[in-house]
A and B are shown apart, each in its own frame.
Chain A
């Protein structure tokens, strides 16, 4: 293998693939990036065995072939080369890869490319194209609620599925929950997605996908097989295994007859929660909401660090209510709400509460209260 490639193009591609590579791994080949020189240029592949990212870089291929090199090392080297420089990658012998640019010359240890694992995804059952903004919307609105607790592994990702609406159109939903709160986002389903099975996309892949979407312009091509999903984003292909488990029947935990409705200014509410929770020292301390018709009082009572109280004007219909929530959960949901007004729907102090954007019925958030 012998190729010359432009530094900036290679750096961008390496930036994408190297974030898949775990810093510490017990399988040496997994810390390497696979480089394959072919007619179309240089193809870079990195994997952690659950997820794979492949990206092509325009390159001048003098001699075809394949090699591997430590991903983080290669990325650091390329990053430190001067902007706009050309570099050449070659393989003097089987055990080494040479990176040469101007007067710099690096020799890196290489592992045989045949050992590089292949995350081959079989024949897809469903293929569709989804706009970048839609996919980003799904992920951004739900990712905060993904569970990181590993015993309930089926909650460690975002659940995507489609359903038929009452008007006959097909919608796609993204749902995430950690058992304490739940986030659900809904958009019209892309053509070709109807009837796809419900899938759970793991957290790491979701976060990686979001990074790739940042700079993307064209629609994302999605292909789904029984155990994997593949996203093609502007020349970068991300393939990930799906979480093999059953997502809980989340519809049951979204209350439908919560009749106590509170409307409050989103920003003022978030700022007030943030302020009063300053005096809670212990992790997970509750903020109490005392709600009357035109008055919402937020309070925290911490016997040692003092107490805090803040009053907000609001609009509320229903019996006066006192209810406690984890301050962090309130803030995380409030951060998702873009319109000026947040709507709360309560049942009682021990039951799930709904929070939603007053102008946007595409999202719904459910939060379990805290009790002292």
Chain B
């Protein structure tokens, strides 16, 4: 067959295949256009999972009649002021979105410039453009996409259910909304308003999207180096999830997915997180536009940094530093658990079912109050980890609890101090965050009184962390000793893995693993970390290679080294059942206050929980 040039309509359809994958990608392109147009309010309307209608309305700058005619052409954009891709500051720049959408759907755009007195409408059907004609509209732009993929039936067949496509679009919108807290977002389907987000502070937007609980159990972090800056919020290690589905990454305000992100985050949280759990993070990376290449992926889902290793270590160090600083806090759904566990023993307590309606009202009330001053430890609503059966009573109680939460601000603290002083006489130790030890119960838990409540400490978990941190200091000071192998071990790998391992040979040597090249696709192991004893060298190298390929970090090696310390710490710390004197208990509490990451044991379980006086008063209906 002879070679021929493809017709324009076909070229556009092929291009559309890259950009317009499913309804959610249409939403992404259109909403990004609205944001680039400086919109303060963006409304998205979805019908039939986006098949029959996707409409995005904004109050942005709008377009003139001439612009409108040009906008639907391929490679036409207002977003590149010169002909270079080096300094991209807008979300879009490729000039492909509208032409691609127009190639596979019926497109209608109505737009009016702020200063113009009429709006103009243009229609394009499967690539065929009509002349613009006058229309009525307030300043801004409305883009309607009807019958998506009618021109490419093959793509139509691969769409998922209306519900699944709607959820995907909602995910896309949430990401964009997180990056633009100052813009109002509404998402409406034929059945309901999925969400409506008012413009506000970044905290308010995060609370609306990740939940109030995240913000209250998160720490802020920030770091900067060589023109890159990272900042954001990470959840406390004890506030984790079963899936890495709440990890948001933004590069210069652009939502990005990064395969390495969850690995990086896990590396940063290593040794404070339970196995199989994932933290929630919102991570913003900012840098000069020329330091990042966004023209990597047609839908701009991925980006490339000029110095990827620097960015990775910046992220990890920022998170680690924040965890070391904040890791003494613990997150525990205490409030949810107290009534659930004690229902039977507290006959006077309102039955959760009966109280639910009341609690609902109260929690709505609470939501209206500013909760920013809440103590972080206590206001955590129940998380998904607990069985659904308990959810109702927990919600009820969480609602009740939240109402008086503002009392925990400094004024509340003073009240607590007075009460404490009246009951026991002021003790010096009460000025410490973890208070003065009162007693040990069941040989396992330490009860301590603080200025504003009581603290319950799991003595084994707490001491375990203290011993681990001491061992880590020891190792950091002494270096990792390496045992030479009498018979060096040849490990067969694939070529990529071998290259990855050898490229990081220096870093691995610092961790005790000395490797040399041994022909294509193999490495020779000369020395291993002495602490690992007789380990499966081949298995270790293979795991390390996989980690290095995935995220440039020898996670497997670090985890094994840490596991040795953790096991030692577990066996050399105070066990449950051991009787402790007051002096010993106070010493443990003071040591916890000094030790970084002491909020969770080596396995990521919390080491202490706190009940404030307000919580106790609520339990006894004194509030």
| Complex CA distance for A151 and B489, rounded to whole angstroms | 12
User: A302, B474: Cβ atoms under 8 Å?
Assistant: yes
Other 10 A-B pairs with CB < 8 A, given A304-B477, A326-B483, A372-B482: A151-B539, A152-B489, A179-B534, A248-B487, A250-B487, A282-B568, A302-B478, A304-B470, A350-B484, A368-B483
Question: B617 at interface (Cβ–Cβ under 8 A)?
Answer: no
Question: A194 at interface (Cβ–Cβ under 8 A)?
Answer: no
User: B568, A283: Cβ atoms under 8 Å?
Assistant: yes
Residues of A within 8 Å of B481, CB to CB, are: 284-286, 324, 370-372
| Complex CA distance for A366 and B533, rounded to whole angstroms | 17
Name the residue of chain A whose CB is nearest to the CB of B567.
A283
User: A370, B477: Cβ atoms under 8 Å?
Assistant: no
| Complex CA distance for A179 and B535, rounded to whole angstroms | 11
Question: Can you give 30 A-B contacts (C-beta < 8 A)?
Answer: A151-B536, A151-B537, A151-B538, A178-B534, A179-B487, A179-B534, A180-B483, A180-B484, A250-B487, A253-B486, A282-B475, A282-B564, A283-B530, A283-B533, A284-B481, A284-B531, A284-B533, A285-B481, A303-B478, A304-B470, A304-B473, A350-B484, A367-B486, A370-B482, A370-B483, A371-B481, A371-B482, A371-B484, A371-B527, A372-B481
Interface residues of A in 312-355 (CB under 8 A from B): 324, 326, 350, 352
Chain B: minimal CB distance from A226 (Å) = 26
Name the residue of chain B whose CB is nearest to the CB of A250.
B487
User: B484, A368: Cβ atoms under 8 Å?
Assistant: yes
Q: Are A182 and B486 CB-contacts (below 8 A) given A282-B474, A283-B568, A371-B481?
A: yes
| Complex CA distance for A150 and B530, rounded to whole angstroms | 18
B523-553 interface mask toward A, CB cutoff 8 Å, 1 = contact, 0 = none? 0000100111111111100000000000000
Question: A148 at interface (Cβ–Cβ under 8 A)?
Answer: yes
Question: B577 at interface (Cβ–Cβ under 8 A)?
Answer: no
Interface residues of B in 481-534 (CB under 8 A from A): 481-487, 489, 527, 530-534
| Complex CA distance for A350 and B486, rounded to whole angstroms | 11
Q: Are A282 and B531 CB-contacts (below 8 A) given A303-B474, A303-B478, A371-B481?
A: yes
- The chain A residues found within 8 Å of chain B, CB to CB, are 147-152, 177-182, 248, 250, 253, 281-286, 301-305, 324, 326, 350, 352, 366-372
Query: DSSP majority for the A interface?
Result: loop
Q: Are A283 and B531 CB-contacts (below 8 A) given A177-B487, A368-B483?
A: yes
Q: Are A177 and B564 CB-contacts (below 8 A) given A149-B534, A151-B538, A371-B527?
A: no
The listed residue (B471, B478, B485, B538) touching A368 by CB distance below 8 A is B485
Chain A: minimal CB distance from B413 (Å) = 37
Question: B410 at interface (Cβ–Cβ under 8 A)?
Answer: no
Q: Are A282 and B534 CB-contacts (below 8 A) given A151-B539, A182-B486, A372-B478?
A: no
User: A369, B484: Cβ atoms under 8 Å?
Assistant: yes
Chain A: minimal CB distance from B490 (Å) = 11
Chain A: minimal CB distance from B406 (Å) = 45
Name the residue of chain A whose CB is nearest to the CB of B512.
A371
The listed residue (A147, A286, A305, A370) touching B534 by CB distance below 8 A is A147
Residues of B within 8 Å of A324, CB to CB, are: 481
User: A179, B485: Cβ atoms under 8 Å?
Assistant: yes
Chain A: minimal CB distance from B526 (Å) = 9
| Complex CA distance for A235 and B425, rounded to whole angstroms | 81
Residues of B within 8 Å of A250, CB to CB, are: 487
Chain B: minimal CB distance from A182 (Å) = 6
Residues of A within 8 Å of B242, CB to CB, are: none
Chain A: minimal CB distance from B101 (Å) = 56
| Complex CA distance for A372 and B484, rounded to whole angstroms | 11
| Complex CA distance for A302 and B477, rounded to whole angstroms | 9
Residues of A within 8 Å of B536, CB to CB, are: 149-151
User: B486, A372: Cβ atoms under 8 Å?
Assistant: no
User: B533, A352: Cβ atoms under 8 Å?
Assistant: no
Chain A: minimal CB distance from B557 (Å) = 15
- The chain B residues found within 8 Å of chain A, CB to CB, are 470-471, 473-475, 477-479, 481-487, 489, 527, 530-539, 564-565, 568
Residues of B within 8 Å of A152, CB to CB, are: 489
Residues of A within 8 Å of B565, CB to CB, are: 282
Q: Which residue, A149, A305, A366, has most C-beta atoms of chain B within 10 A?
A: A149
Residues of A within 8 Å of B537, CB to CB, are: 151
Chain B: minimal CB distance from A74 (Å) = 36
| Complex CA distance for A51 and B473, rounded to whole angstroms | 48
| Complex CA distance for A366 and B484, rounded to whole angstroms | 12
Residues of B within 8 Å of A148, CB to CB, are: 534
User: B484, A370: Cβ atoms under 8 Å?
Assistant: yes
Q: Which residue, B470, B486, B534, B538, has most C-beta atoms of chain A within 10 A?
A: B486
Residues of A within 8 Å of B474, CB to CB, are: 281-282, 302-305
Chain A: minimal CB distance from B532 (Å) = 8
Name the residue of chain B whose CB is nearest to the CB of A253.
B486
The listed residue (A301, A304, A305, A366) touching B486 by CB distance below 8 A is A366
Residues of A within 8 Å of B564, CB to CB, are: 282-283
Chain B: minimal CB distance from A332 (Å) = 14
Q: Which residue, B470, B473, B487, B535, has most C-beta atoms of chain A within 10 A?
A: B487
| Complex CA distance for A350 and B485, rounded to whole angstroms | 10
User: A181, B486: Cβ atoms under 8 Å?
Assistant: yes
Residues of B within 8 Å of A177, CB to CB, are: 486-487
Name the residue of chain A whose CB is nearest to the CB of B530.
A284
Residues of A within 8 Å of B479, CB to CB, are: 372
Residues of B within 8 Å of A179, CB to CB, are: 485-487, 489, 534
User: B484, A286: Cβ atoms under 8 Å?
Assistant: no
Q: Are A149 and B535 CB-contacts (below 8 A) given A304-B470, A304-B474, A372-B481?
A: yes
Name the residue of chain A whose CB is nearest to the CB of B526.
A350
Residues of A within 8 Å of B473, CB to CB, are: 303-304
Residues of B within 8 Å of A149, CB to CB, are: 534-536
Q: Which residue, A148, A182, A303, has most C-beta atoms of chain B within 10 A?
A: A303
Chain A: minimal CB distance from B384 (Å) = 38
Q: Are A282 and B486 CB-contacts (below 8 A) given A149-B535, A324-B481, A326-B530?
A: no
Residues of A within 8 Å of B482, CB to CB, are: 370-372
Chain B: minimal CB distance from A254 (Å) = 9
Chain A: minimal CB distance from B175 (Å) = 45
Name the residue of chain B whose CB is nearest to the CB of A177.
B486
Residues of B within 8 Å of A180, CB to CB, are: 483-486, 534
| Complex CA distance for A250 and B487, rounded to whole angstroms | 8
| Complex CA distance for A21 and B564, rounded to whole angstroms | 32
Chain A: minimal CB distance from B621 (Å) = 51
| Complex CA distance for A181 and B565, rounded to whole angstroms | 24
Chain B: minimal CB distance from A1 (Å) = 47
Chain A: minimal CB distance from B407 (Å) = 44
User: A352, B531: Cβ atoms under 8 Å?
Assistant: no
Name the residue of chain A whose CB is nearest to the CB of B509.
A371
Name the residue of chain B whose CB is nearest to the CB of A369.
B484
Chain A: minimal CB distance from B116 (Å) = 74
| Complex CA distance for A152 and B527, rounded to whole angstroms | 16
Residues of B within 8 Å of A282, CB to CB, are: 471, 474-475, 531, 564-565, 568
| Complex CA distance for A228 and B599, rounded to whole angstroms | 57
For the complex of A and B, the 3 pairs showing the least CB-CB separation, nearest first, are A284-B530, A368-B484, A303-B477
Residues of B within 8 Å of A305, CB to CB, are: 474
Name the residue of chain B whose CB is nearest to the CB of A249.
B487
Chain A: minimal CB distance from B475 (Å) = 7
